[in-house]
Amino acid sequence: MSEINLERRIKRQAWVPEHRFFAVTAPGLEPLCAAELASPGVYDIQPEPGGVNFSAKLETAIQANLWLATAGRVWLRLKDFRVRLWEDLLRQADSVPWEVFITPGAPLNIQVSLIGSNLKHTGRVAEVVGQAAGKRLREMGLAPPVPAKPGDENAQRLQVRGSDRRASISLDMSGAHLHKRGWRAQGGAAPLREDLAAALLLHCGYDGSQPLLDPMCGSGTLVIEAAAMARRMPPGLGRAFAFESWPCHREAAWNYLKTQAVEQALGQPPALIMGRDSNASAVALARGNAELAGVGQGLVLEKGDFFAAEPPPGPGLVVMNPPYGKRLGSVRQAQEIARRLGQRLAEAYPGWRCGVVLYLPEWVELLGLKDTSVITAPFGGLKVTLLSGTVPQK
């Protein structure tokens, strides 16, 4: 096949049919991610523990990488099959159109996970799949992939999973974890992970139309995620993705998607977004991060003590990630803070919607909110509670 014909076939095979994908989320965030995915062109959305399966064309999955705020990574399922015998793996691995997605000559990291599978030997499974990819590329006159060196972050990541009688072969579309939006210069004392910040906002029903305050903004994660949502800016605009190095990648189509996203974004948030912190250097850090994220315009960031400062005109949504035991100060100190937070909320924020990241579920009571709803998710070796509620009217 001539080079031009091969290139045409590669593009057609990637861009014309629908494929199956899996968006990985932190356990607990699956329903939020499924709701984010629900849009034209996305079909058969099926959450399962740890992520959400969906079907879409490649262009839509590329947009999912760009737009998903609560996902960690998106896998393209190259194969999903029943395994009885070793030969089933050989046959399926041989039938993958590797030349469409695997960069010739590039490092390939094959991760294998087998739970109760007929396929017993992870090393051998990786070898077979790597050999199938190499053989196919060589047959096309292309350089085979090379095994990735340990810790090579830029290597293409392929995952083979076997569980009972089923197995799948998937290719990572995202590269670095999607919570890495590309704007964080420094973290500050205890930054919240971006997908959790987005999850808290979505859990509170935030859509950008109401005033928002984070009175303990630290490095600014919650206000930056809020500003991106309010201005309809994709969280992934400032970062690179693994699919950009695929042979089927269409640079012009990708640039068009990004340009379109920038053009439809609002220049300003439609309602107030304010971050405060009692620590002046945290405010400076939040300002720097907001500029790097491209959402500095219209964001109000100022020094202030939550227990002394008055709320901005509202009611709106007050979100916060107060200092908590394991990471800042002691547990008892943090419980005392939760109790005092509840008092201050009741005194100054009646009728406000409130979202809080808490270290212990027991603290839900200390805050005294009504109409509460919680999500728990792992974070930094802990299980944190994302609490949404309303501050009672006096």
Ligand X SMILES: C[S@@+](CC[C@H](N)C(=O)[O-])C[C@H]1O[C@@H](n2cnc3c(N)ncnc32)[C@H](O)[C@@H]1O
Q: Name the minimum Å distance from CB 330 to ligand X.
A: 14
Q: Which of 56, 196, 201, 222 binds ligand X (CB under 6 A)?
A: 222
Q: Give me the residue whose beta carbon is nearest to ligand X.
A: 218
Residue number, 218 or 389, with CB nearest to ligand X:
218
Q: Name the minimum Å distance from CB 275 to ligand X.
A: 9
Q: Name the minimum Å distance from CB 212 to ligand X.
A: 13
Count CB atoms within 10 A of the CB of residue 352.
20
Backbone angles phi, psi at 285, to 5 degrees: -65, -45
CA-CA distance, 137 to 96, in Å (whole number)?
A: 11
Residue number, 189 or 253, with CB nearest to ligand X:
189
For residues 108 and 102, the answer to whether their CB atoms sit within 8 Å is yes
Residue number, 6 or 190, with CB nearest to ligand X:
190
Helix (H) or strand (E) holding 44: strand 43-48
What 8-state DSSP symbol labels residue 166?
E
Helix (H) or strand (E) holding 356: strand 353-358
For residues 169 and 158, the answer to whether their CB atoms sit within 8 Å is yes
Q: Name the minimum Å distance from CB 22 to ligand X.
A: 28
- Residue 6 three-state SS: helix
- Is residue 307 involved in binding ligand X (CB under 6 A)? yes
Q: Name the minimum Å distance from CB 349 to ligand X.
A: 14
Residue number, 100 or 299, with CB nearest to ligand X:
299
Stretch that binds ligand X, among 166-174, 178-186, 189-197, 235-243 (CB under 6 A): 189-197
Place of tokens 């760009």: 66
Site string for ligand X, 121-150 (x = CB under 6 A): ------------------------------
Interface positions, 65-94, toward ligand X (CB under 6 A) = none
Q: Name the minimum Å distance from CB 308 to ligand X.
A: 8
- Is residue 225 involved in binding ligand X (CB under 6 A)? no
β-strands 18-25, 43-48 pairing: unpaired
Nearest to 75 by CA among 93, 50, 95: 50
Site string for ligand X, 260-289 (x = CB under 6 A): -----------------xxx--x-------
For residues 283 and 277, the answer to whether their CB atoms sit within 8 Å is yes
Q: Cα dist. 292→235, 257, 296 in Å?
A: 12, 21, 8
Q: Which of 6, 114, 140, 190 binds ligand X (CB under 6 A)?
A: 190
Q: Name the minimum Å distance from CB 376 to ligand X.
A: 18
Place of tokens 């859509």: 207
Is the omega angle on the peptide bond into residue 315 within 30 degrees of 0, that is, cis? yes
Q: Cα dist. 210→6, 273, 349, 367, 388 in Å?
A: 52, 9, 14, 22, 15
Q: Which of 191, 234, 314, 389 binds ligand X (CB under 6 A)?
A: 191
Q: Name the minimum Å distance from CB 191 to ligand X.
A: 4
**Residue 220 half-sphere exposure, CB side, CA atoms within 13 Å?**
31
Backbone angles phi, psi at 90, to 5 degrees: -60, -45
Q: Name the minimum Å distance from CB 327 to ligand X.
A: 7
Site string for ligand X, 309-348 (x = CB under 6 A): ------------xxx----x--------------------
Residue number, 28 or 304, with CB nearest to ligand X:
304
Question: Which residues are at the interface with ligand X (CB under 6 A)?
Answer: 188-192, 215-216, 218-219, 221-222, 277-279, 282, 305-307, 321-323, 328
